[in-house]
Amino acid sequence: MSSPDELLRIEGVRKSFPGVVALDDVDFDLRRGEVHVLLGENGAGKSTLIKVLSGAHRPDTGRVLVEGQEVQIRDAQDAARLGIATIYQEFNLVPDVTVAENIFLGRQPRRFGFIDTKRMEAEAAKLLERVGVDVSPSARVRGLGIAQLQMVEIAKALSLDTKILIMDEPTAVLTTEEVDRLFAIARRLREEGVGLVFITHHLEEIAALGDRVTVLRDGRSVAHVDASEPEDELVRLMVGRSIDEQYPRERPEPGQMLLQVRGLTRNGVFEGIDLDVRAGEVVGLAGLVGAGRTEVVRAVFGADPYDSGGVEVLGKKLPGSDVGAALNAGLGLVPEDRKGQGLVLDASVEENLGLVTLGPTSKGGFVNLASQRSSAARVADELAIRMAHIGQHVRTLSGGNQQKVVIGKWLLADSRVLVLDEPTRGVDAGAKVEIYRLINELTASGHAVLMVSSDLPEVLGMSDRILVMAQGRVTGELSAEEATQDSVMSLAVAANPGPNPEENEVEGR
Ligand SMILES: Nc1ncnc2c1ncn2[C@@H]1O[C@H](COP(=O)(O)OP(=O)(O)OP(=O)(O)O)[C@@H](O)[C@H]1O
Ligand SMILES: [Mg+2]
């Protein structure tokens, strides 16, 4: 029987795609004024479930009830009418119109037949104030940072009189401070009686924000538990086994110098970067979002230019801005923006895994297809990429499994120095450990890893040395033994303005 507090109930929902059953007999319920966490490994069916609620997918069987009434959600309009709003990882905002126009898209207040901009902006300002974001209603969306975009999406949801707010991995791209702000808004909405569905791979966020947790495994809802459940128990429910060692780093003796960066400077972005990476090492590059870490590693790889300084691989100087030369010298880069830079979405898993190796192995006109096939299959297996078959298009993989394909592609490329920018963002707890094991294998066989990561436990757990950046400069270096959360954070916020502080803004590109 439905209680008066029940907002949403899902019963026996099934959804299949060719070759996969994404959801199988799923039950779920959401109450007024609660945050309900959906937890599960990459490919467990979380995004598919919320797409059923947003009208993007129709279930094959099963029932969806909103406030006790069975409903059919055929499209986004149906969802909106029922008070359901969804914030996807990829935002749905229109970049070239204003914030206010985005919030009221398709339902702008009118006066004598014309859009009443004044009234629209005044109402938008009220909503933006309610979420506590300092953005002008007349600003264009294009210039906003990711956290601001998210807040605009939430303001938009509020304008729709939302009763059920669904967020798919909202914190994956936010800084610690921004996460705090998002949580404050979520708590306020909860007090107002909104029901929130929240997806995250960061286990520590569950107890911090959640009330209840539904665990999905292989498309089935396998557990409904309290959010205060211990983390290791949540992991066990999620992956079906316990993970005894989260950071299995084995440190070989460092060998020869592989990568040496001296005085690398890009005016106004980063300055005087010195960096050594030896065979067998994992060097962590820590810092806050916007400290310039991604900009530095892109310049090292030749993807972006620099103004002075230099990069040597195995003692040979690399020309600047030449990705081909970097590749030939043995550098590899797994970029932060994997959708934009790392994958061909309409090609298969196998083809994507072969993208980097295809060049080298086809020299002289031969591509060793058979060996390429078997190594692609091996890497897919080691990373436990969840797919119907190796010919499946990457576009239809779950978010986390797409990440694994990009990483796998570079593991196959056999680079001497692999630069990983946020390697486990969006990756589930079990798969993270698999990636760490592969990093161990690489370094044990004389390769090296330079890792940019905003996940502090990961930087501390996996790096042999940590360089910390703030405002475009290296503010300190710590060995694995001396590094702690506090020592890294104090270097990351070090007041160390560059020569021209105003030009030091590197965020929001
Ligand atoms: N349009 C589609 N066509 C074919 N298969 C699909 C499609 N959408 C999803 N799938 C498959 O359904 C399964 C569940 O995917 P889903 O995106 O729901 O996972 P998820 O739990 O959100 O994972 P992640 O944590 O990686 O985001 C995966 O095996 C995925 O490949
Ligand atoms: Mg997903």
pLDDT tens digits for range 52-109: 999 999 999 999 999 999 999 999 899 999 999 998 866 667 778 899 988 888 777 7
Quick one: pLDDT at residue 143? Answer: 80
Mean pLDDT of 15-29: 95
Q: Any idea which of 12-26, 300-314, 337-351, 450-464 has the lowest mean pLDDT?
A: 337-351
> How far does the centroid of ligand 1 lie from the alpha carbon of residue 43, in Å?
5
Quick one: pLDDT at residue 1? Answer: 55
Question: For residue 26, which ligand has an atom nearest its CA?
Answer: 1
- The residue to mutate among 218, 397, 435, having the most atoms of ligand 1 within 8 angstroms of its beta carbon, is 397
pLDDT > 90? residue 158: no
Give residue 384's pLDDT band: very low, low, confident or very high (50, 70, 90).
confident
- The residue to mutate among 16, 23, 48, having the most atoms of ligand 1 within 8 angstroms of its beta carbon, is 48
Neighbours of 96 (CB within 10 A): 8
Q: What average pLDDT does the structure give for the chain?
A: 88
- Dihedral over Cα of 144, 149, 155, 160: its sign: positive
What are the chain's domains? 6-239 (3.40.50.300), 248-330+415-427+446-509 (3.40.50.300), 340-414 (no CATH)
> How far does the centroid of ligand 1 lie from the alpha carbon of residue 133, in Å?
32
- Dihedral over Cα of 85, 23, 381, 376: its sign: negative
Name the nearest CA neighbour of 249 among 486, 480, 482. 480
pLDDT > 80? residue 364: no
Please tell me the residue having the least CA distance from ligand 1 atom 19.
43
What the block records as the tokens of 9 is 């109930």
Cβ contact 423:435 at 8 Å = yes
User: Which of 168-182, 248-262, 491-505 has the largest mean confidence?
Assistant: 248-262
Q: Which residues surround ligand 2, an ion (CB under 5 A)?
A: 47, 398-399
Cβ-based neighbours of 303, under 8 Å, separated by 6 or more: 323, 333, 335
Q: What percent of the chain has pLDDT over 90?
A: 58
- The residue to mutate among 23, 396, 424, 427, having the most atoms of ligand 1 within 8 angstroms of its beta carbon, is 396
pLDDT > 90? residue 297: yes
Question: For residue 400, which ligand has an atom nearest its CA?
Answer: 1
pLDDT > 80? residue 406: yes
Name the nearest CA neighbour of 139 among 150, 125, 129. 125
Quick one: pLDDT at residue 501? Answer: 41
